[in-house]
Amino acid sequence: MKFEFSSGKRRSRRSNQVVPSPAAVESLETRSLLSAGPVVTIPGAVPGSGGLQEITNPRNPITWTAVPKAASYDVWVSDVESRVRTLLAEGLPAQLQQFTPSTDYQLGASRIWVRANFADQTSTDWSRPVEVLLKTTPTLTVPAGQVDGNQTPITWTSVNGARSFEIFLSNQTDLSSTVYRVPNQVVARDAAGNAIPDGKGGVVREEVREFYLSGAVTLPATAPKAITGATNDPEMVITVPAHGLKTGEQVRISGVEGNTAANGTWFVTRIDDNSIRLRGISGNGTYTTGGQLVQLTQLRSEVEMGKYRLFIRSIDDAVPGRVSEWSPGVDLEQAPAVKINRPVGQTFGTPITIDWTPVDQATHYEVLVKRPGDSDDKALFNPKYVQGSSYTLPTTQLITLTFSGTPTSGTFQLQFTIPGDPARTVATRALPWNATAADIRAAISGLGISGATVRTLKAGENPVHEISIARTASPLQVVALPSLQQGTLSAVSRQTFTDWGSLEYKVRARRLTQVADVVVSGEPESGTFTLTLKTPGKTEVVQTTDAIPFNATADELQAIIRKLSGFEQVSVRSQGNLGPKGIVRYTLVIPQTGNPVTITTQSTLNQGSVVVDRSRVSPEVVGAWSGTATISTDVVPRVLVPLSTVYTAKTPTIVLTKVDQAARYDIWVERHLATSVFLKTTSAGNEFTFPTDLPAGRYTFYARAVSTRGELSKWSEPYTFTCTGGAPLIVDPVNGSASANPLPLIRWEAVKEAKTYEIMIALIGKNFNFLRQSGLSSTSFSPNEPLNSGDYRVWVRGVTADGTSLPWSDAVNFTVT
């Protein structure tokens, strides 16, 4: 039995089949006029339009009537639109008059023939053809739930042969919708982006089964761009001058040396014109050289944070194309994770301010802070609706009220200035000079300042009170306003900080959205209208827009609303047209940073009306958690890289752990057996390079961090190392070792300043200049000819690019047995 079919993944139904010549196809199609041969029937088919029989099973069986004395049967299936054979099954057993394909029919209309074969090698004519229409609906395979639509493709399954697919995206947050047309049968390309030939003058085509909601499209071969840096912060930051990339695009990186974790295929976040961040990728070393970047996808737009419902349908290759039913919907939540900026690792933490990169369309953020190892339900702090892109761990503001001069009567007030935009100044009611701690606390609470406690430190003629207020923002400014018969009152404020030790924290974004429709109808020809937006709360805020023309565009209405305080991020879209029986519907998408807004209209139109047709609060969107960051207020710098105990460079570089809020690092270096400090200096960053050549010898290194407020960390643990003063360190063979290998491999540590190396080998006691070779570009050497048995001594030195010879290494003795 022979069975051939069209592969949907790598072939085009029009150009990549193993098909008969055009003349043979025409001859076959002409046979549709003949009635000889078996009679074909399609089980389960139902009558459809245009005389076609409709099927929904992509592998629907084919049956036929028996032909006397038939030895076998052949089945031929071709595509009606392209007239290309899609399936041929030969030599089917005579006792069976049924065939079930093991692969799918093509989408759309197919034409089916059957013929009988006899033992004498003759055959009947092909049967009268039967035309069937396969009607199936694609199935979405992307998992429901949280995704990052800028990185996660929408995937589906479908029978082959669609001309295109349509993806319907319903935004459940702002009540908008988008239809994406996804072409099928795209040109297949190799890793370099070149079209893959099919061997017949055409190209191989691929069936498309994925699409990025962001509109990311796969690019053909693009010119590589040179990489000039790859640092860690903690995600990798790649330097590519004039990269031209957008956040969410995909790249392939290769050839990076040193920090080799950069090599691979990654999604990127744009930092500026010359640098990008690899999402979720940490480095594994220090960049040395090399590397190139090739852009793989290009974004048309970013998918904003929200809830979406997704549907898909196929369009076959008829003219016009026949459209399938929409698939069942899949609910997705575009919930990108927050990227934490700082602090990470050690921090002075006075106070600790967590900072992150804002997520587009997010209105609030949830922060969770806990002890390492604790579960989330044991969080120390878990504010769920933080506005802005930072959060300061609570500190305590202490205000000391001190009376002096022995007052006997009179009153006093406390005036507080609360930071904000704008700042707010409030004052307590007048309190008697001898007010109790409870009286003072009640007066402060009446101002809306929460979390205040008061205790009396000294009672009597000149009382002293201490007010404690928990703050997660800048401290309050406080002024005492005394009105005493005699004596004075002072208010002194200071902030105290908690030494937290080690903490873990993470952040996620939230989006609260209100959507309202304003409808203009009744064929107005002139006039204006206004919108009044009322925000409820402890203090109700009512704002009215400027006059809005009766025929304003969405952009014009948006610009007018954005003039109102608190509504700067409102977006407006419109649909419809004014005219006979026409209406215009404006949809206002309002980021809900406070309570839901009540909208009313006022109209001076010459005719018609303006009404608020609908207003609703969309379901909250909760983003994915960021990665967990660990911080510690127990600040002790430590040497990070390198961890070598021997430096061959003349000016070694030592990298320390980075301390958050450090303004500088104090450096202290002692030389072994010296009677005075060798070096005392500072470094602006956590990477320190000795400013002058270090003489060969042994050194001990210490460092401490200094905060922006002048606070000092503890000194680091002593770090002892040996500097060779620019001489290589021979690591193989070991001094005094013996080997039977007559071609010993000699290896040494590289010297930063060396361009090439020179090696000298002496045969001890016989030939001092036994072997000498210069111009070596690597850090290893093996003689070209075998060494005789004997005792040898080897030295190596570096040579700089200008030809200057560096110091010889210490000698290493070895024996060839």
Q: What is the pLDDT of residues 486-524, one digit of tens each?
A: 999 999 998 887 778 899 999 999 999 999 999 999 999
CATH class of 339-393+498-512+620-634: mainly beta
Using the predicted structure, report yes or no on whether residue 572 has a pLDDT greater than 80: yes
What mean pLDDT comes out for the span 334-348?
92
DSSP 715: P
Using the predicted structure, report yes or no on whether residue 212 has a pLDDT greater than 90: no
Enumerate the domain spans of the chain: 2-134, 139-215+305-334, 218-298, 339-393+498-512+620-634, 395-496, 513-617, 635-723, 730-816
- Integer-rounded Cα Rg, in Å, for the chain is 40
Using the predicted structure, report yes or no on whether residue 11 has a pLDDT greater than 80: no
Structure tokens at 679: 């070096």
Give me the half-sphere count of Cα atoms (radius 13 Å) on the Cβ side of residue 749: 20
Q: What is the pLDDT of residues 378-427, one digit of tens each?
A: 999 999 999 999 999 988 899 999 999 999 999 999 999 998 878 899 99
User: Going by DSSP bridges, is the β-strand pair 528-535/548-549 parallel, antiparallel, or unpaired?
Assistant: antiparallel
Q: What is the pLDDT of residues 673-683, one digit of tens each?
A: 888 899 999 99
Second-level CATH architecture of 2-134: Sandwich (2.60)
What mean pLDDT comes out for the span 728-737?
94
Distance set, CA 577 to CA 584, 602, 770 (Å): 5, 21, 97
Looking at domain 139-215+305-334, its CATH superfamily turns out to be Immunoglobulins (2.60.40.10)
Give how far the C-alpha of residue 300 lies from the chain's centroid of Cα atoms, to the nearest Å. 17
Give how far the C-alpha of residue 469 lies from the chain's centroid of Cα atoms, to the nearest Å. 39
Whether the bond between 343 and the residue before it is cis, its omega within 30 degrees of 0, is: yes
Q: Minimal CA–CA distance to 584: which of 560, 609, 558?
A: 609
CATH number of 218-298: 2.40.30.180
Identity of the highest mean pLDDT range in 9-13, 14-18, 229-233: 229-233
Second-level CATH architecture of 635-723: Sandwich (2.60)
Strand order of the β-sheet with 225-226 is 225-226, 292-295, 250-254, 264-272, 275-282, 235-239, 229-232
pTM above 0.85, yes or no: no
Q: What is the pLDDT of residues 93-133, one digit of tens each?
A: 999 899 999 999 999 999 999 999 999 999 999 999 999 99
Structure tokens at 620: 């909250």
What mean pLDDT comes out for the span 761-785?
92
Structure tokens at 559: 């610009």
| Cβ atoms of residues 587 and 616 within 8 Å | no
| Cβ atoms of residues 214 and 299 within 8 Å | yes
Mean pLDDT (the chain) is: 89
Q: Tell me how far apart the alpha carbons of residues 89 and 1 are, in angstroms, rounded to a whole number.
A: 7
| 2-134 and 139-215+305-334 in the same fold | yes
pLDDT score for 220: 66
pLDDT band with cut points at 50, 70 and 90 for residue 4: very low
pLDDT score for 780: 94
Map residue 22 onto helix, strand or coil: helix
Q: Tell me how far apart the alpha carbons of residues 562 and 568 are, in angstroms, rounded to a whole number.
A: 4
Q: H helices within 9-146, ranges in order? A: 22-30
pLDDT band with cut points at 50, 70 and 90 for residue 173: very high
User: Going by DSSP bridges, is the β-strand pair 812-816/737-739 parallel, antiparallel, or unpaired?
Assistant: parallel
Give the DSSP H/E element, type plus range, for residue 90.
strand 85-93
Q: Tell me how far apart the alpha carbons of residues 70 and 735 are, in angstroms, rounded to a whole number.
A: 90
DSSP 718: P
* Dihedrals phi, psi of 444, to nearest 5 degrees: -70, -45
pLDDT score for 642: 60
Signed CA dihedral, 442, 444, 447, 450: sign only: negative
Second-level CATH architecture of 730-816: Sandwich (2.60)
pLDDT band with cut points at 50, 70 and 90 for residue 191: low
